[in-house]
Chain A
Amino acid sequence: MTTLTAKDKQTVKAFWAKVSGKSEDIGADAVARMLVVYPQTKIYFSHWPDQSPNSPAARKHGITVMMGVGDAVTKIDDLKEGLKELSQLHAFTLRVDPGNFKILSHNILVVMAVMFPTDFTPEVHVSLDKFLAAVSLALSEKYR
C-alpha cells in the first residue's frame, strides 16, 4: 500500500515545490482543523495553556509538523532511514498513538484542497495520500 512509484515521488516533489512557500499556513490550518474536528487529539496538548485551535502554540506546532513533512520530501527515497530520529521521538518521548497520523494526514489533504483547489487534482491527491501514509509508517517504525 505504501510503496511509492517513481511517478508518485515526482508528483509529490513537484507539488511540494509549488506549495512549500505556504507551508507554515498549511501546517497551522491542518493542526487547527485536527483540534476542532477530532477533539480527542487535544489530549496530546494538555500542557499548552491555550488549547484553542488558533493559539500561538497550535500555530507553532503546525509549522513544526510541516517542516517535518518538507524534510520527508527530501528523504523520499528512504523514509525509514531518513525519519529514524523522528520515529524515536514519537515512539519513546511523545508516544502519539499512530492512528493520529492518519487524522493529521487527512487534515493536511483537506487544507491542500482549500488552498490549492486547481493544483490538488485527483492524481496529485493519490500520490500525496500515499506519501503521507509512507511518512506515517516510517514514523511508526520504532514503536515496537
Chain B
Amino acid sequence: MPENSVSADLQTGSDKMVEWTDFERDTIKDIFSMIEYDVVGPAALTRCLVVYPWTQRYFGGFGNLYNAAAIKGNPMVSKHGTTIMHGLDRAVKNLDDIENTYTELSVLHSEKLHVDPDNFKLLADCLTIVVAAQLGKKFTGEVQAAFQKFLAVVVSSLGRQYH
C-alpha cells in the first residue's frame, strides 16, 4: 500500500445511511457539472497508471502502456477514463443510496475484474488531484473535504460485495 494514499476509510454498514449536508450535496453536484468527463476521466486514469504503475495489471489488453506518454495517448485508457466518470455520475445522481446503486459494479470488480479494492483509493486520490488542477482556487479546503467524502463513500460501496 503506497505511503501517501489517504482517501478516508469509511465503514458504512448497510444499516447506516451516509448523511450529506446541503453544502456537501451542492458541492458534489457543482463539481460534476463543472468538469468535462472526457478530460478529467482520462487524466485521472492516466495519472493512476503512471503514479501507481502496479495498477497497470488490470489493463493487460490495453496495448502500449510503456511510459507516461504512451499511457496518455492510449485511446483505450481515454475511453475507460470516461467510462469511470459516467460510473461516478450514477453515484452523484443517487447520493442517498450509493451502496445499492453500486451493488452490481462491486460484484463486477470483485468477481470478474478481480481488482484489489485498495486500488480504488489510489484512483480516488488521482481524481482528487486532477479535479484540484481543473478547479484551481475554487477547490477550497471545504470543497476538497466534500469531494473526498463522496469518493470515500464510492470506494467503500465498490468494496462491499467482495468476499
- Residues in A lying within 8 Å of B, measured CB to CB: 1-2, 32-33, 35-38, 53, 101-103, 105-106, 109-110, 113-114, 117, 120-123, 125-126, 129, 132-133, 136-137
Interface SS, A side: helix
- Residues in B lying within 8 Å of A, measured CB to CB: 2-6, 46-47, 50-51, 68, 71-72, 125, 128-130, 132-137, 139, 141-142, 144-145, 148
A110 to B57, CA, bound (A): 26
> B71 to chain A: which residues have CB within 8 Å?
122
Q: Which residue of B lies closest to A54 (CB)?
A: B141
CB distance from B139 to the nearest CB of A (A): 6
Instruction: Tell which of A102, A105, A106, A120 touches B133, judged by Cβ atoms closer than 8 Å.
Output: A120
CB distance from A68 to the nearest CB of B (A): 17
Instruction: Tell which of A110, A125, A137 touches B3, judged by Cβ atoms closer than 8 Å.
Output: A137
> A37 to chain B: which residues have CB within 8 Å?
141, 144-145, 148
CB distance from B112 to the nearest CB of A (A): 28
